[in-house]
Each structure stands twice: as structure tokens, then as C-alpha cells.
Amino acid sequence: MGENPAKNHYAQLNQGEENEMEIFGYKTQGCRKALCIAGYILSCGALLLLFYWKPEWDVWANCIRCSLEEADIVLLRTTDEFRIYSRKTVTWISVSALIKSRLDYPGTAEEDSVFSKAIMKPSLQVKSIQVQRIRYVWNIYAKQFQKVGALEDHHTCSAIHAKFGSGLTCNERNVRKVICGPNTIDVPVIPVWKLLIKEVLNPFYVFQLFSVCLWFAEDYMEYATAIIIMSLLSIFLTVYDLRQQSVKLHRLVESHNNITVTVCRNKEGDSCFQELESHHLVPGDMLVLKEGKTLLPCDAILISGQCIVNESMLTGESIPVTKTHLPQADNFKPWRMHCAEDYKKHVLFCGTEVIQTKADDTGVVKAVVLRTGFNTAKGDLVRSILYPKPMNFKLYRDALRFLMCLIAFAAIGMIYTVCVFALNGEEAGEVVKKSLDVITIAVPPALPAALTTGIIYTQRRLKKKGIFCISPQRINMCGQLNLICFDKTGTLTEDGLDLWGLLPCERDCFQDIHSFPADHSLPWGPVFRAMAVCHSLIVWEGKIQGDPLDVKMFEATNWVIDDSSGHKIEGQGSTHATVVRPGPKASSAPVEGVAILHQFPFSSALQRMSVIAQEIGGEQQVFTKGAPEMVAMLCRAETVPLNFESKLLLYTAQGFRVIGLACKSLQAGKQSTDLTREEVESDLTFLGLLIMENRLKRETKPVLEELSAARIRSVMVTGDNIQTAVTVAKNAGMISATNRVILVEANKIPGSFSASITWKPLEENKTEDYRGLQDDSPPTTERRIRLALASGQYHFAMSGKSYQIVAQHFRHLLPKLLLNGTVFARMSPGQKSSLVEEFQKLDYFVGMCGDGANDCGALKVAHAGISLSEQEASVASPFTSRTPSIACVPELIREGRAALVTSFCMFKYMALYSTIQYLGVLLLYWQLNAFGNYQFLFQDLAITTVIGVTMSFTGAYPKLVPYRPPSQLISPPLLLSVVLNILFSLSLQVFGFVVVQEQPWYSKTDIYSACLSVNNHMENSSSISSLGLHGMRDGAHGQTDNGYKSYENTTVWLLSTINCLIVALVFSKGRPFRQPIYTNYVFILVLIGQLGICLFLVFADIDDLYSKMDLVCTPTTWRISMVIMLAVTLAASFLVEEAVIENRPLWLLLKKTFRYHSKSHYKRLQRVLEQDSAWPPLNETFFSDSVAISVEGSMGGHSNPTFDSNEDAL
């Protein structure tokens, strides 16, 4: 076979998609498997456990490499920075029962489909694997694994109508059903025993188990039992939590798994309808949608009729969406490419609810099943919950590195222990136990649990404030955010728009403005008709529902929607048309009503919507509304006023949302359904401008000011007009009054592959003194702009079209533009996601705040996506805020910062606690001594566990400071803090250990000598002798009974225990990220209580208590000396922490002295641009080379349908 296996051994799965993976082929080999089984038995299952943690080692040990075609085991590896491996077994699906003869072989719909290409001859079997609930089959011809459960993308619009328009034959259906599997999003509730096993096999709990076994062997019964109880509690809590999530998710998807649907079957060329349960559906099936409400059990392409759908389950927005049928275009482009970004307008998504259906002249509403099961939009969301993307956060990586350091630290301790005990002739068994003990002391088993407590408390605090979180590990990330992207409409501004005025146009001239609310109503005419019919409103549950803009516009006409069943319109067959009629308050109109025959819904990519309407008994007309620039381009030039641009600028510069209106008459006799959108939206007559007022929300300005004061950048990403967006940004305080705005315009040069980019200063346009963009500014203005630019006070504004061209042709300029880009207008959903990714490439921590509908992609891609939605948890983003205002953003950053600092405090505390204990034990090992059982128990349970639970209660500081907490554990201040405190603890314990041996009353053998020597001066000799005899006898007995009692043990243990309290107090940081420590009452009370108990143990002289705790009596002077030592340690530790570690000016000075510069990409770029006097170029135009970068290469990992949209054709 030569090198064939190596060549075909590897491939990529889901190339260019979010869940891209590498796949490797392996074949099981008998002798290797036998060796591994022997290994499992000999290692008592340890090898099996290792293979469970490392599936790739399992595959490499058991199998040999081979081509994917021959593989019976495949190894998958993610392509992100985590490189996570998983192992899958290849399964065979037999279709021989369905294909009895050659005649049965898949028919017309199958010729070029993956189904026919996957069936192996002559065995009639299909080779498949299942990855993250999605099935892939082996394509024999393409020699690769391909996803099944979705229609192939290569079908053209006409092919979908032709191949699937009359349904699948029974045989085609059965083959597809066997290969694709059932159409269900099945999330079984995971049994408790499975969850338990999975949790128990976590490396952390395995280490716990090892520790517990060791402690039992050493008779640390009480401590081992306490740890078992705590671990079990922790395991049960985690399992309970996971079980609850599992049940919740199961309930969420259960409702859609079994719905009765009507499908169209193709029997010998005839179509017949058949009812069946939705789990039998396969891609390519023809669904017939009945009237009334229905839940969709799959994704489907609408091929006839029209639907109104409630998509709030997916997007969190409850505005009904209109879906239109797929056009029958005869071209060679795949249907999705043909429809560009608007393909969603023809797709009905799984999990959404069809509210209304409107049939066309065929009389039925039909849709072709596009995707089934976990391939659907809803399946995708469920999968993103089941398999969340791991967060690449430095904290967790550093925590692992730190654990490794502790293990290395423990290894040194083990070597020392072995040397000390072996040289003193201890038994081998004892030496092993003692040295293993060092590991359990040096590596704190409670570390992972301690790190998550802070996050759990923060999540609870956020929930109280109406912010819900489905991805808790992102909370710490919120503490690092330094750039927030905001959507405009509904996020920064009020959701609803108020109608401000109408600027009608007649004979290419603007007329007087008609203001709202006006005393006199609008006169009847084309503008009035456009306002009455050019919308996608519906009556649902007795209320007019739809886009807030449409609602306001329609309400201004005082007409009503009569949405009763079919209205027979002449020449149109039986069409279910929506009819609008004059309402009771409407001014008199010469018509009975107007019927809306056909809609071309609003599209973000095209920035417009159109309807075909007909006055009852009149002619058909087209009405279009949308972005004024877009509408004007579609109108006949002679109908657009000459001062169109200046008027538009006049209103957008004041922050109004402006909508253009246009119309045209259709020639009689043409069926409205046969017309394409291009035919309808051409040669229009310009009707005028509708001016809407979009007010800022009350909270917007203060929140943006707060973020600005905290040096967190705000960026606006909107679908609105650029001038309106800039004005809103100025009003909201994103762009201050003294700063300049530079408009960046990029255009493709017609007839060539190159492009141009121009920088223009955007003038301050005052309403009274209007000056055009192109006017030459006087020299003073030019100088003023230059001054603003020199001080870095400028902002770039660009449109989605320019952004796309820059990304394709001026790739090198993109980072420079993003560094000062504040307003991105007319951005499509795909461009929003791409922008967030580009900011992340510059090393920004990006937050995205939007309304969850068209921002879905960006919310998912951002480090922290916050959706302002009514629903408790929008599956669209990690965070959801109940209150629909951006006030949740600073709240989330505050809590994130507090959680991050809490994690660091806990980390430092846990590291020091284990090091203090470790140093104490190693000191005592020098004398072949150790801490007693109850001593360990007191330190670990009474001190550390209680502190670990209560330390994280401290809330977030209410003010956002203009700098962020460190993002990594291995930052100089943090490391210095840990190292210095370890040195203080070491000095304290060594000093106590050495000085106690120098005391006059000290005796190595007689542990009662201290108290006797004190009594010596007070009592007569006879009582001394009797006491002495008694004491010696008791002492002898005590030492045989328990080898722990000694002066060194008592001194070191008391010092180390109180040292743990000192460290907890010193490390509990308050300001600037958390509230002062005294606000955490529980923690302060706990510390005072613990200190009280410890001081009681120092000064009490109760024999029973001392013998139980393995302590011995020491003179009062020595006890006072110990307290003084501890007070000195506290003072030194506190001083260092406050004067050095927390001294920000000192660290800034050190950075300056050593010329340390931030390694962040954007900081480096800022330093370069500060030196560049030619940046930004003003009133200049650059041209790109004729070669454009391919979009896929430049736009980051996943393919982005946005950038395939053919924008210049519009």
C-alpha cells in the first residue's frame, strides 16, 4: 500500500465552519489490544483511567494508522487552540432490505445526492460516524465523511422546485430515513449513575481518593472521613445541578419532537397527501402547512404561498416575521448564493411557530424539508448548550501551571522526607507513607472548588439584578472587557420610533413638511397609500403586530387591517390577501380599501421592502420603502429632487431616522406572483421622506459616560444610516463635542478588480447654517481638524459596504481603522460578527450588547454577549438582561472584575495555606515529628474550609476604575505577593522552631519541663519532687502514647495556624474592584471567631484539651513572644501588600523605568500611529492593487454568507 494510508489517513470535517475538526483514520489491531488489556489488569485499572482522560493515547496504543476508507476507529481533534481529542467508532448502516433489485435503486432526487454516493456496492451498506449528535456518512466518490440530515447546498432554486416539488417516492424516503436517522432533537435525561461516574472520575476526585486512602493507612480517620463527606457533598451538588440542567433542556426540546404533519408523497407521478409523525421526516420531504398555528418540527424552504412566523424562541424578539416562497429562478447558482443574505426570508426554522399561512393560486402552502434533527437551527442551539466552546482564559491555564509548580515543590519535599527518615533508620513502609503525605499537603485538593465559589456567588448576585447567565465561566472574562459594541435601535435608543414628520415630493420638488401629531390628517394620495400598505403587519390575537416602525407609520393613517380569510381580487385567482380599510377616525378616502397582494419582506442586505397592492376595483401598484439612499437609486432620476442629499443630511444630522418612499404602477394582466423582486423594484417614482424620531434611552448617556471614565471603549454597530448613527453617537456621548469624525468611504472601481478608499472630515452641520459635505472648508476649520487629529481626538465612521471592501482590498488598513473606528453603520448581521472577530484579533476583550435578533452571530462570537431580551435565557447569548437597557453592561463588568479578583485572592490564599502547612510539616520531619491528626483537622476544616466559603462573599465595588485587574496569575505583583508571604511564613516558622530550642526551660525529652521550671520558683522542694515524679511518669507515658507532642510541634502549629488567618485577612482585597472587607460581615465574624479560638488555644492551659490537640504547656512569656512574632508578621505582610503590591504608581514607575510596553496588538499599533504624522490621511484617496484577497482567507475562520452577497449589483 506504500504511503497511501498516510496520505488518506487525515482529513477535515466541517471545513470552514464553527465546529471544524481534524479526523484521523485508525484500525484496531488484535495483538495491541491484548497487550493493553494485560496492562489494564496489571495496573489495577490505572491505565484504563489514563486512557479515559486521554482518548488519543487509547487509540494510539490499541490501533494502527490507516486510510479513512479502511478505518474502524476515528480520532477527532478540534482545530482551535485547545486541540481537544475524541474517539469515535465507525458504524455500518445496512440498506439492503430497502433495495431489493436494481429498480429499487434511489431515483431521480437521488442521482447527485450524498445518499446514492454513500451506498457501497455490492454489500449495500453505508459507513457512518456520529459526532456531537450529527451523523456523517462516507462518500465513496469524494473519499470523505459528509454530513447527512440536510439538503445539499448545490441545488439551484429551479432544481428544488422541480426535484422536490411533488414529494419523494416511498423508496427514496425509506433510504433517506435509514441513513439520516429520525428527525428528533433528542436530549435524554442523563441517568444519575452516569453523571456520578463521570464526576468521580474527574482527576481532582481521583487525587482526593488517593489522599483519603493514604490517610486511612496512617490512621487519620477523622480527617479522612471529613474530606470524604465534603467531597461527596460537592459531588452530589454538582450531579444535582447537572441533572437539573439535563431535565430543563430535555423539557425545552421535548415538545417539538412529535407533531403530526401532512406530507406530500409521489406515487407513480401522482401526488397524494399523507399524515405522519414528524420524527419520520427526511430532508427533501414536501410539507403541507395547514391554516392555524403550527410548531415547526424541522427547517424547511417555503416553495409556495406565504407564512407569518413567530421566531422569538430562537431570537428573543417577539415581532412576527413574514416568510415568502423561494423564487423559481433559472440560473446555475446554488439557491443560497442566489438569495444571498436573504435566503432566511424563505426558510422556516425548527422550533418557531407559524402563526398564519397565506396560500397562492395553487391553494396550498408547501415547504421542502431542508434540515432535520440536530442539523436544524434549533438543533444547533441545543448542541451549543450541550457542547459549549471551551473558554481560552489565561486564569485557568495559569492555575494548571501553578498546580504543576506545587507538584514540583512537593517532589522536593518528598526527596527531603525520604532522606531524613531513611537516614534515621525508619521502616520502608513508614518512609513511603510520610513522603506521599507531603504531596497531599503541598497540593491543596480543594483548589478547583475554591476557584469556582466566587463565580457561583457572582452568578447569584447577577440573577438578583435581572442578568441571567448560561455560561458561568465567562463571568471572569467580563472583568477584562475593554471594548463594548452596541447595537443602536432598541439598545441605545428606544425600541419604538415616533413619527416626527413627512416630507412629500411632487414633480421632483420637496413640498412643505407635514408634522406629526398634526391637527389635520394626511391628504389622500400616493404617499398616504404607501403608508397604509407598505408594511408587513398582521393582526394577531386582536392586536396589530410587527416592526415598531411599521406600526407607528400605519397607525398615523388611522386605517385598520381587515384580516379575514380570502378576498377575491379580479384577475388574481383566489388569493389570501390582507386588506386595509379606512378606520372610524380616518379622513374620507375615495376607495373602499386596498388589498396587499404580495410582499417582498424587509431585507438587511437590500435595506428595503416592497409590496404589490391593488385598490379594490383599481389597478395594481408597487410601493417600496427603505434606506433613502437605496430607494433613490431605484427611482427614475427625474423624480428625485436635486436637493435630495442636502435634505437627507439636514435630518439625519439631527439624529432622525429617515425612510424613503417610492411607488410605480404595474401594467394590467400580469400575475403579481410571477414578478421577480428586481422587476418590481425598478423605475420607481420617488414619493418623499418619512422622518421618525428615535429617542435615546434615559440610561444610555450616563452608562456610556461611566464606561468612558473607566477607559472602556464604546463602538456603535448598527443597520441604520451613517449620519443618523454619528448624531446618535454624539448625543449619547460616544463622540465628544471637541472630537472630529472622519468618514471612510471605500468603493469598488467599476469594470476592474481594484477599489478606492477616501477619508473625508464629517462637518458639523447645524440646521440653520447648512454646509454640504463637499464644500471646501475655510483654512481655520482645516487647522482645527488637524489639531484634533494630532491629539488623537478623532473617530472613524464607515458603512458596512465600505467595511467589506476594506476587508477585501485594504487588509493592511483594517487594524488602523478599527483602532479609532467608533461608528459602523448599515452593517448586516454577518458583518457585525466579522467586526467583533477583527477587534478580538487586535487583542481587545470584546463585549457585545444587542437585542438578540440580528445580532445573534456577534453575541456568540464576543467574549461576553449580552442580549436585552424578555426571556430568562436567550439561547442566543451567554448573558441575558431582563431590563431592556444597557445599564446591565457596567453592572456585568463590575461583577466580572470582582469575581476575577476574588479568584485571585482565593488562589493566593489556597497556595499559601498549603505552603504554610507544608513548611511546618517539613520542619517537624527534621525531628522525625509531624502534626497530629486533630491539628490537621483544625487547620483544614475549622480554618481553611470556612474561610474558603466566606471569603468570596465580598460584593463588587460600585465605581468602575479606569484600569482592569490583572488577567493572569503569573503577573509580577501577584507572584511577588505570594513569594514574599511564603518567605514571611518560612521566617516565622523557622524562627519559632530555632528560638524555642534556645529557651532555658526547653528539653527534648521532657515535655513537661517548661511548666515545672516556672513552678520551681514558687513552691517548696518537696512538692517539686512529687510533681516531678508525677510529671516524668506522665511524660513517659505520653511519649509512648503519641509521638507528636513536643515544644517544636506546639510552637510551629500555633504559629502556622494563626499565620493562615493573617494571610486570609491580608489577601482579602477590597477597593478598587471589590467592596471594603468590613462589608463582608460573615467573613469578618468568622475571622474574629477563629482568632478567638486560636488565642484561647495559645493561652488556655486545659490538660484535656491540650492532650487531645497534641499540644504541650509552655511558659506565658513564650506564649506572649509567639503573639509578638505573629503581630510582626502581620505588620510586615500588610505593609508589603499595601505599600508595594497594591501600589499602582510604583508599578507604573517600574514599567516606565524598564521600558515595559504592553504586548497587546492594539497597544503596539497605537504607539506606531502616535509617531505617524501622516495618519489619518484627510481628503485623500488611495487605490488598491488589482488583486483582492479572497474573502474566506481574510475574514477569519468560519465562512460568512454575508460577504458572498453581491452588493455592487444592487
Active site residues: 487
C-alpha radius of gyration, the chain, whole number: 37
For residues 730 and 732, give the distance between their C-alpha atoms in angstroms, rounded to a whole number.
5
> 3-class SS at 757?
strand
For residues 1009-1024, one letter each, b for 16 or more C-beta atoms within 10 angstroms of the residue's C-beta and e for the rest, the string is: bbbbbeeeeeeeeeee
Q: Which of 1107, 1007, 981, 1111 is nearest to 1052 (CA)?
A: 1111
DSSP assignment of 1-44 equals -TTHHHHSSEEEESTTSTT-EEEEEEEE-HHHHHHHHHHHHHTT
Which residues have a Cβ under 8 Å from the Cβ of 151 and sit 6 or more positions away?
160, 283, 284, 301, 368, 369, 370, 371
From residue 105, alpha-carbon distances to 110, 149, 170, 171, 1001 in Å are 9, 20, 12, 8, 101
Question: Positive or negative, the Cα torsion across 822, 827, 829, 834?
Answer: negative
For residues 956 and 896, give the distance between their C-alpha atoms in angstroms, rounded to a whole number.
8
| Angle formed at CA 272 by CA 269 and CA 273, multiple of 5 degrees | 150
Q: Which of 1169, 1047, 1051 is nearest to 1120 (CA)?
A: 1051
For residues 383 and 374, give the distance between their C-alpha atoms in angstroms, rounded to a whole number.
7
What DSSP character marks residue 625?
Answer: E
Q: In DSSP terms, which residues pair with 637 in a beta bridge?
A: none
For residues 635 and 613, give the distance between their C-alpha atoms in angstroms, rounded to a whole number.
18
For residues 50 and 210, give the distance between their C-alpha atoms in angstroms, rounded to a whole number.
15
What DSSP character marks residue 99?
Answer: -
DSSP assignment of 131-194 equals ETTEEEEEETTTTEEEE-SB--TT-BHHHHHHHHTT-B-HHHHHHHHHHH--S----PPPPHHH
Question: C-alpha 337: how far from its chain's center?
Answer: 28
- Do 393 and 477 meet the contact criterion of CB atoms below 8 Å apart? yes
Q: In what order do the strands lie in the sheet containing 286-289?
A: 270-277, 260-267, 286-289, 365-371, 299-304, 347-348
Alpha helix stretches (DSSP H) within 653-778: 677-680, 700-709, 722-732
Q: Which of 570, 574, 578 is nearest to 359 (CA)?
A: 574
- The number of residues making up the chain comes to 1210
Helices (H) and strands (E) in the chain — how many of each?
42, 44
Residue 76: how many other CB atoms lie within 10 Å: 19
368 phi and psi angles, rounded to 5 deg: -95, 130
Which residues have a Cβ under 8 Å from the Cβ of 607 and sit 6 or more positions away?
626, 627, 630, 719, 826
Q: Which of 201, 252, 245, 198 is nearest to 388 (CA)?
A: 245
For residues 313 and 378, give the distance between their C-alpha atoms in angstroms, rounded to a whole number.
9
Q: In DSSP terms, which residues pair with 74 in a beta bridge?
A: 25, 88
For residues 821 and 1181, give the distance between their C-alpha atoms in angstroms, rounded to a whole number.
18
From residue 1009, alpha-carbon distances to 40, 1001, 1014, 1024, 1053 in Å are 57, 6, 9, 12, 19
> 3-class SS at 623?
strand
- The distance in angstroms from the start CA to the end CA of the chain is 54
